[in-house]
C-alpha cells in the first residue's frame, strides 16, 4: 500500500473517531448538562451571556459537526471547525489543570472509571485529560496534512 493511501485511510479513521466522539459527547450533554454548567461557571473571565450560549448550544454543535466530520461531509469547512473545538477543549483542560479545578468537566457525562471506555474518556480534570485532549488535537491536525507525493 502506498503512502498516499495510508494517509488517506488514516485521515478517514481519525475523522470517524473524532466525529463519533463529538456526537457521543453531545448526546450525553443533551441528556444531562449539569456538569457542563458547573465547569463553565468556573470560567470567571467569560461573560455570562457567552456562558449561556456555550451551555445551550455546545451539545448541538458537537452532534452536528461530529456527524458531518464522521462521514467526511463538507470537510473544507467542518475540519477547521472540529479542530477548533478540540483545540478549545485542550486549552480548557490545561486551564483546569493550571487552576487546580477538581471534579467532572462534563465532557462525556458519567461513564464511570470501571470500564475501559470510562477510563479513557474520564471527565476528571488532570494530566490524563490534558494528554488525551492533546492526542485529539494531533489527530485533528493530521486532517490538514497534504504531503507531496513522488509517484508512489
What does the mean pLDDT of the chain come to? 87
Asked whether 69 and 24 are in contact (CB, 8 A), the reply is no
Question: Would you say residue 11 lies in a domain?
Answer: yes
Q: What is the pLDDT of residue 104?
A: 74
> Is residue 151 very low, low, confident or very high in pLDDT (cuts 50, 70, 90)?
low
Question: Would you say residue 149 lies in a domain?
Answer: no
Greatest pairwise CA separation for the chain in angstroms: 55
Q: Can you give 54-77 as a three-state secondary structure string?
A: HHHHHHHHHHHHHHHHHCCCCHHH
Which stretch of 37-51, 57-71, 102-116, 135-149 has the lowest confidence by average pLDDT?
102-116
Question: Would you say residue 28 lies in a domain?
Answer: yes
Domain that holds residue 88: 3-142
Question: Would you say residue 58 lies in a domain?
Answer: yes
Q: What is the pLDDT of residue 124?
A: 79
Tens-place pLDDT, residues 72-98: 999 999 999 999 999 999 998 999 899
Tens-place pLDDT, residues 118-142: 667 777 788 989 999 999 999 999 9
Residue 115 has pLDDT above 70, yes or no: no
Question: Would you say residue 147 lies in a domain?
Answer: no
Question: Would you say residue 151 lies in a domain?
Answer: no
The structural domain count of the chain equals: 1
Share of the chain above pLDDT 70, in %: 88
- Dihedral angle of Cα 76, 145, 135, 73, to the nearest 10 degrees: 20
Question: Would you say residue 49 lies in a domain?
Answer: yes
Q: What is the pLDDT of residue 101?
A: 80
What pTM does this model have?
A: 0.87
Amino acid at each position: 500500500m502506498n503512502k498516499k493511501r495510508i494517509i488517506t485511510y488514516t485521515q478517514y479513521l481519525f475523522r470517524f473517531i473524532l466525529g463519533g466522539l463529538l456526537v457521543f459527547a453531545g448526546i450525553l450533554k443533551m441528556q444531562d448538562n449539569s456538569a457542563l454548567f458547573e465547569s463553565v461557571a468556573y470560567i470567571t473571565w467569560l461573560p455570562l451571556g457567552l456562558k449561556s450560549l456555550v451551555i445551550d448550544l455546545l451539545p448541538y454543535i458537537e452532534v452536528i459537526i461530529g456527524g458531518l466530520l464522521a462521514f467526511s461531509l463538507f470537510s473544507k469547512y467542518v475540519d477547521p471547525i472540529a479542530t477548533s473545538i478540540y483545540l478549545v477543549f485542550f486549552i480548557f483542560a490545561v486551564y483546569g489543570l493550571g487552576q487546580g479545578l477538581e471534579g467532572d468537566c462534563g465532557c462525556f457525562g458519567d461513564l464511570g472509571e470501571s470500564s475501559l471506555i470510562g477510563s479513557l474518556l474520564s471527565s476528571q480534570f488532570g494530566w490524563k485529560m490534558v494528554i488525551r485532549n492533546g492526542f485529539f488535537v494531533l489527530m485533528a491536525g493530521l486532517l490538514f496534512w497534504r504531503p507531496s507525493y513522488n509517484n508512489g
